[in-house]
Amino acid sequence: MTQKHNISYLDYNSTTPIDSRVLDAMLPFLKNSFGNSSSTHHFGQIINESVTQARSQVAHFINSESSEIIFTSGATEAVNLAIKGVAESYKIKGNHIITVSTEHKAVLDTCKDLERKGFEVTFLPVKENGLLSLDLLEESIRTDTILVSVMFVNNETGVIQPVKKIAEIAHEKGALFMTDATQAVGKIEVDVRDLGIDLLCFSGHKMYAPKGVGALFVRKSDKRVNLTSQTHGGGHEIGLRSGTLNVPGIIALAKACEISSQEMKRNRKIISDLRNTLEYELLKIPNTSLNGDLTKRIYNTTNICFKGQDANVLIGRMKNIAVSNGSACSSAVFEPSHVLKSMGLIDDDALASLRFSLGKYNTIEDVKLVVEKIKKLTEPQ
């Protein structure tokens, strides 16, 4: 199924194909049920009921209340709303924010924008395996720290941070905890109550829904989290995100959550086996090494350094294979991965690294093709 148009697609962390069941669920809202869910007429209210049901499905998927789900255009918008919203709401308490050097650019660039506006941001380093030092985090939190933002699963290496423990440390020090869970939601169980998360962001297009829809979880129970709206004009989404709702996208996101809840365990076993086979075979190639922790990582991702190679050249020569040399959101900028450099890789090794991210439509044939092609391309000439 992944080899449509003769392409073996191993770039699921960048984006996923739409599940046909998700497409079927959203199509009626692109055709006959096209109304505005905010309209007061009967047609609009019927559609609003579908949005309400979808919100409940998404909330149930991460164990939150429906009123705690804010629909957005994706994780990047959710990240901006969360970080800037907290900064503006809590600036009387303090102006210090903590994040990590290996975060997605959505978090890093948002924090840098706040620095230009007078906020102080600490960008914590990571260890060679990509994990954050909890002792360093604890030492870095100050009385004026208002937010700690740490990515759940890294998009380039798949490294999983201990978010539950991080949340505990942040709360003990009186700070809020936010996580960009874009690469976690839909792949592994995410329970915002159990994990103690205050703010959580994710996108539909990483979990077999279309691009252009995502969500922000904003905790309201137990610990009140206040955000200042960043988009004005209509007061939609309890005043936090104005704009006519993307009803087809919202319906699609809810369906994707429903499917994930039913198939996550099965997908995990199949995808994990494929990833492990791929990784085992590729690491047989001379001068290769794994980037990131061997065990504390998501099951669909492997990031491998092919020392002495140029990742961009390899990608360009694999016309029928889709893999990545980093985040798709940064691919317009030709420079070493900031994630890998933060983990201590020199520029040449970072530029020689490839990310392989698998999904539920991959097959063993995809794996065999990729291994065969890369072995051929990396053979000494």
Q: What is the pLDDT of residues 317-344, one digit of tens each?
A: 998 999 998 655 544 556 899 999 999 9
Identify whether residues 300 and 190 lie together within a single domain.
Answer: no
pLDDT average, residue stretch 81-102: 95
Q: Which of 357, 355, 244, 282 is nearest to 9 (CA)?
A: 357
30-40 pLDDT, tens per residue? Answer: 998 777 666 66
What pLDDT band is residue 301 in, cutting at 50, 70 and 90?
very high
Domain count of the fold of the chain: 2
Instruction: Give dist(CA 142, CA 119) in Å, integer.
Output: 14
Q: Which of 80-83's residues contact partners 24+ apart within 8 Å by CB, and which partners?
A: 80/106, 80/110, 80/230, 81/216, 81/227, 81/229, 81/230, 81/231, 81/240, 81/241, 82/149, 82/178, 82/199, 82/201, 82/216, 82/218, 82/227, 83/107, 83/110, 83/111, 83/114, 83/147, 83/149, 83/178
**pLDDT (0 to 100) of residue 329:** 53
Which amino acid is located at 221 in the chain? Answer: S
Identify whether residues 250 and 278 lie together within a single domain.
Answer: no
Instruction: Give dist(CA 306, CA 354) in Å, integer.
Output: 8
Instruction: Give dist(CA 206, CA 329) in Å, integer.
Output: 13
Identify whether residues 111 and 166 lie together within a single domain.
Answer: yes
**How far separated are the first and last CA of the chain, in Å rounded?**
34
Identify whether residues 218 and 292 lie together within a single domain.
Answer: no
Both structure tokens of 42? 């009967």
CATH of the domain at 352: 3.90.1150.10
Which amino acid is located at 31 in the chain? Answer: K
Instruction: Give dist(CA 236, CA 71) in Å, integer.
Output: 10
**pLDDT (0 to 100) of residue 3:** 44
Specify whether the CB–CB gap between 301 and 13 falls below 8 A: yes
Q: Which of 276, 285, 275 is nearest to 374 (CA)?
A: 285
| Domain end call among 206, 223, 258 | 258
Helix (H, G, I), strand (E, B) or coil at 186: coil
Identify whether residues 60 and 190 lie together within a single domain.
Answer: yes
Q: pTM value? A: 0.94
Identify whether residues 174 and 252 lie together within a single domain.
Answer: yes
Identify whether residues 39 and 53 lie together within a single domain.
Answer: yes
Q: Which of 53, 2, 11 is nearest to 206 (CA)?
A: 11
Q: Which of 71, 356, 28, 335 is nearest to 201 (CA)?
A: 71
- pLDDT at residue 352 is higher than 90: yes
| Domain end call among 209, 231, 258 | 258
DSSP string, 68-125: GEEEESSHHHHHHHHHHHHHHHSTTT--EEEEETTS-HHHHHHHHHHHHTT-EEEEE-
Place of tokens 């961009």: 312
Q: The domain containing residue 138 runs over which residues?
A: 20-258
CATH of the domain at 134: 3.40.640.10
Identify whether residues 253 and 280 lie together within a single domain.
Answer: no
Both structure tokens of 216? 């922000």
| Domain end call among 213, 234, 258 | 258
Identify whether residues 342 and 222 lie together within a single domain.
Answer: no
**pLDDT (0 to 100) of residue 243:** 84
| Residue 329 among the catalytic residues | yes
- pLDDT at residue 269 is higher than 60: yes
Identify whether residues 226 and 294 lie together within a single domain.
Answer: no
Identify whether residues 14 and 38 lie together within a single domain.
Answer: no
Residues of the chain with pLDDT > 90, as a percent, come to 82
Identify whether residues 170 and 271 lie together within a single domain.
Answer: no
Decide which of 236 and 60 is more confident: 60
**Pick the catalytic residue: 201, 257, 305, 329?**
329
